[in-house]
Amino acid sequence: MGWRQARWREPLVFELSRPGRRGSAPIAVEEDVKRAVGGLRLPEGLARDSLPELPQLSEVEVIRHFTRLSQMAYGVDNGPVPLGSCTMKYNPRAAMRLAFDSRLEALHPLQGDEHVQGVLEALYKVQEWLKHITGMDACSVHPAAGSQGELAGVLVIKRFHELRGEGWRNTIVVPDSAHGTNPASAAMAGFQVLEVPTARDGNVDMDALKAALGRDTAGLMITNPSTLGLFEENILEIARLVHEAGGLLYYDGANLNGIIGRARPGDMGFDIAHVNLHKTFSVPHGGGGPGSGPVCVKSVEVVDGVTLADLLPGPRITYDEETGLYRVQPPGRWSVGRLRAWIANTLAVLWAYVYILALGPQGLRLAGEVSVVNTNYFIKLLEGHWAYDIPYGKGRPRKHEVVVSAKPLKLETGATAEDVAKGLLDAGLYAPTIYFPLIVEEALMIEFTESETKENIEAYADRMKEIAETARKSPEEVKWWPKNTSSRRVDNVRANHPRTVTPTWRVERLRREGKLGPLR
């Protein structure tokens, strides 16, 4: 199954450029353009002194350049992408065909509601379906990412307390296994973040939670199943305690694969939840988007006649039974407001629309179940191996994902989780999420989703075992991985440093000509 990545350093299109080289264009068209441009008179001072520095290549060179670049990339169309927490699943081609439909691309968000009823209906239905899936009472597909859904959610918590005259509640409690966006969203909304530890059994440490709750508690943000893939066994008790303390419960449902169709945040006592359409609902992601992180609420009363639904961000899509029309409803008086331009990442929502429609309730449930079976099958393959350990909740079944620790491997051979990840790349496999969650040393966070076959999961486990054997036999070798990819091992610090990022060809050229200061 391994995907051999193309191995070469592809030059920039500017480096491939040669003066005067060009693609073909019908002569007649060219004459037309010349005539049109010749007739234009630009205002004084706006005309350039020299020609723009555009790359000059023949057509086939352009095609080959981009084809080679595409062969250097790896995605779920090449092989498994078992990035724990990120849920990289197969995207059905039917949804892609719809999303690329030229009729959709031609729409403009300022078109009148009456002219785009079909799209609005689809957005509305996703809002409605998500209510059923999460067990909530109202949803908004407005947020453009999971983290933006979270921000909306914590702003709802803030507004809730302010409207009730309890604006002094300034603390959000977050378990230490949380995704980094949870404390970040809470802090962005102006809250203090109080971290509670995870107990050895993988559940939240209840004594620490009780001690953390108090008069200043605004709410709790939690992922269930946690990022360890473990279902929080005390969730009902946690919900009771947080509500008793006067706080709201926020459910980070970015990854719903472990429980979809089986359990719902709304039934566990949560007041607010977001889901990522670009994870559980198959919308392709990576490289920063475009995503979609709808946020949903229970119809909890805030003050007289106002419920959490009135606080949701927007616009939201409503349905008017009288006229039979779907409407774009701008954010109202109580709403936390707009978070982005226009209505939503419409194509991403449509992608999820097709996925949900195609699978139906039974299909979604089955997808979740298969993903859980896949995780636990993988655990069985790795269990008892000398190099890998599965800390927290020993023996408890995992849901959608598992966090493996390469600490025993490191102690024995010096090879780290990063070395294992690079070794997987060399085998033409994709590395898992590493060094997250922070509470697991040498963490490898693995999630196959429902997309992968038994054989693929076995091959992945086999490769991880092979890597461990190589590390034992020749510990230096693993430090040179990857060898088979288009880039060798990068310097982690420099690769993440803004000064080393080359935003444009001009910056790159200045750097090469030594006209840009040394990198610091």
Ligand X SMILES: *Cc1c(COP(=O)(O)O)cnc(C)c1O
- Give 123's contacts (C-beta < 8 A, 6+ positions apart): 141, 317, 326, 343, 344, 346, 349, 350, 353
Residue type, 280: T
Q: Report the residue number whose CB is nearest to ligand X.
A: 146
Instruction: Give the SS3 label for residue 280.
Output: coil
- Considering the rule CB under 6 A, would residue 293 count as an interface residue with ligand X? yes
Per CB under 6 A, which region of 39-47, 51-59, 250-258, 397-405 contacts ligand X? 250-258
Question: How near is the Cβ of 473 to ligand X at its closest, in Å?
Answer: 36
Among positions 88, 254, 311, 339, the unique one binding ligand X when judged by CB under 6 A: 254
Query: CA-CA distance, 461 to 467, in Å (whole number)?
Result: 10
Q: What order do you get walking across the sheet with 192-196 strand by strand?
A: 138-140, 295-297, 272-275, 248-253, 217-222, 171-175, 192-196
Question: How near is the Cβ of 495 to ligand X at its closest, in Å?
Answer: 20
Residue 179 or 410 with smaller CB distance to ligand X: 179
Region of 21 (left: φ > 0; alpha: ψ -120 to 50; beta: rest) is beta
Residue 213 or 254 with smaller CB distance to ligand X: 254
Residue 88 or 302 with smaller CB distance to ligand X: 88
Between 401 and 420, how does the x/- string for binding to ligand X read (CB under 6 A)?
Answer: --------------------
Length in residues, the chain: 520
Residue 141 or 245 with smaller CB distance to ligand X: 141
Question: How near is the Cβ of 153 to ligand X at its closest, in Å?
Answer: 11
- Considering the rule CB under 6 A, would residue 85 count as an interface residue with ligand X? yes
| Count of residues of this chain found to bind ligand X when the rule CB under 6 A is applied | 15
Residue type, 24: S
Core vs surface per residue 426-457: b (16+ CB within 10 A) or e? bbbbbbbbbebbebbebbbbbbbbbbbeeebb
Among positions 252, 389, 401, 419, the unique one binding ligand X when judged by CB under 6 A: 252
Residue 415 or 443 with smaller CB distance to ligand X: 443
Residue 232 or 252 with smaller CB distance to ligand X: 252
- Considering the rule CB under 6 A, would residue 371 count as an interface residue with ligand X? no
From residue 118, give the alpha-carbon distance in Å to each of 115, 122, 124, 125, 507.
8, 6, 10, 11, 45
Query: CA-CA distance, 390 to 412, in Å (whole number)?
Result: 17
Q: Are 98 and 351 in contact (CB under 8 A)?
A: yes
Residues in region 321-340 near ligand X by CB under 6 A: none
Per the omega criterion (within 30 degrees of 0), is the bond before 397 cis? Answer: no
Question: How near is the Cβ of 243 to ligand X at its closest, in Å?
Answer: 23
Dump the DSSP string for 447-475: --TTT--HHHHHHHHHHHHHHHHHHHH-T
Residue 302 or 343 with smaller CB distance to ligand X: 343
Residues in region 102-161 near ligand X by CB under 6 A: 145-147
Question: How near is the Cβ of 252 to ligand X at its closest, in Å?
Answer: 5
Between 268 and 287, how does the x/- string for binding to ligand X read (CB under 6 A)?
Answer: --------x-----------
Q: Are 38 and 74 in contact (CB under 8 A)?
A: no
Residues in region 176-195 near ligand X by CB under 6 A: 179, 181
Residue 307 or 433 with smaller CB distance to ligand X: 433
Between 435 and 464, how does the x/- string for binding to ligand X read (CB under 6 A)?
Answer: ------------------------------
Query: CA-CA distance, 463 to 53, in Å (whole number)?
Result: 47
Residues that bind ligand X (CB under 6 A): 85-86, 145-147, 179, 181, 223, 227, 252, 254-255, 276, 291, 293
